[in-house]
A and B are shown apart, each in its own frame.
Chain A
């Protein structure tokens, strides 16, 4: 037997031994992992009046597929996906010439763009100081009707759909009232945190 043949035989023997030994301590498990995903809607507000509506689109299926891919999972692995929380804050703020703050009231609604669902209110904001919200992540009290629009979109995603959500910032009042000489200018960003429960078949060492 040549040296190469001997080495090859030894390698096969070692590989077989390892495979045989491994099977006795490895156990199959289907583990439910939680992928945390955050989706944000950015509203650029530039208005000379108190009443304004700013829409923004979120391609939910694309975002979720990317989040799952980052975690080595796919849509077929998802057990359930639900909204956990929502926070918001002002990310850009142009201070008016007269250096005053803005106090705003209004709501954020959500609806589907791909099918008819909503709009329903996701959150209301009352007397929100734009200056105080700058650079913050303020937890929001969520409205069930709006949450259910998002949760139905998540269910459609699990069923193979490609939901697109439209978030609308519907402003009610602004104090002091903006004018052409003193327009209200800021960027507002609500972010939704979701938990995506995925299952994965893995082998774990559990020898005894």
Chain B
């Protein structure tokens, strides 16, 4: 019952990414419009970290790759992180022009929905926008896995959609796009047959883009890369436990329209690239034509993923 609920949520999420992209793009831009660089970075930091963790999750799984027996599998997977209390606020500073400059705990994008007001000189007031009060952030992605050629498997994630808003937002809001490509190669095929595990190594690169700013660039652009080794063991009862150790990197850039200082301009925020070691522990249920999987990923931002695959 619980697992069917998760699959339903995964499918719904994939649908909702398409449906919600226009409003998400517009709302993120609206919330950021009160901020310039430093505050925008603090406000969005939990989302940037979650993006990196989600993108680098659910990639590799079973290390078993046939040496020369072509396989094709279409998969849908959901990757998610859960936010803690530490993700809910950041140390914000009042923007240029407000006197005196003050530092306060303000909500991040996943924090409280309430704005925070600060009193200044001469009866002035500065307002920090509220967040969306999120407990989790999840991405869903279709993934194609083609393998069994010289013990190598190619993994492709792709999704692209033009988005436009409604009403006053009926303008072109850009697109939402995900492209990822990676290869995985069986190491165990080169090792002595007595090895009790399948072992493989692989890499995966991805780029995610969302929305458009007034300069025509993307509102959000995110790059992720992961490489590492995986091990799995096929048990007699369709179950395949697996584990992986990888090194992940992630970089996110923003370019949004801000009126924080009165006049509108496009503000560019380049988040510092992050890197982390990443341990994956998962279990796959595998029958001919179908597999289901669930995994937990331990990294600087831990995450989990689940999904299903159809193919042969």
Contacts and interface: CB of A to CB of B under 8 A. Distances in A.
B30 A33 contact: yes
B262 A87 contact: yes
Given A24-B5, A36-B34, A141 B122 contact: yes
Interface string A121-158: 00000000000000001010111100110010000000
B177 to A, nearest CB: 18
A30 B113 contact: yes
A71 interface: yes
Given A24-B9, A71-B30, A85-B98, A204 B134 contact: yes
A48 B134 CA distance: 63
B74 interface: no
Contact of B97 (A70, A87, A144): A87
B16 interface: yes
A177 interface: no
Nearest to A18: B15
Contact of A142 (B19, B23, B124): B124
A72 B15 contact: no
Interface SS of B by simple majority? mixed
A121 to B, nearest CB: 11
A202 B97 CA distance: 31
B104 to A, nearest CB: 14
A33 B248 CA distance: 34
A208 B16 contact: no
A152 to B, nearest CB: 10
A84 to B, nearest CB: 6
A42 B167 CA distance: 33
A58 B162 CA distance: 40
Contacts of B168: 69-70, 72
Contact of A25 (B16, B98, B128, B129): B16
B12 A142 contact: no
Nearest to A151: B123
A7 B125 CA distance: 58
B31 A148 contact: no
A34 interface: yes
Given A25-B9, A72-B26, A139-B99, 17 more contacts: A18-B15, A21-B8, A22-B15, A31-B31, A32-B113, A32-B130, A36-B34, A80-B127, A84-B98, A147-B123, A151-B123, A195-B127, A197-B127, A204-B133, A206-B135, A206-B136, A207-B136
Interface of B: 5, 8-9, 11-13, 15-16, 19-20, 23, 26-27, 30-31, 33-34, 78, 80, 82, 97-99, 113-115, 117, 120-136, 138, 167-169, 259-263
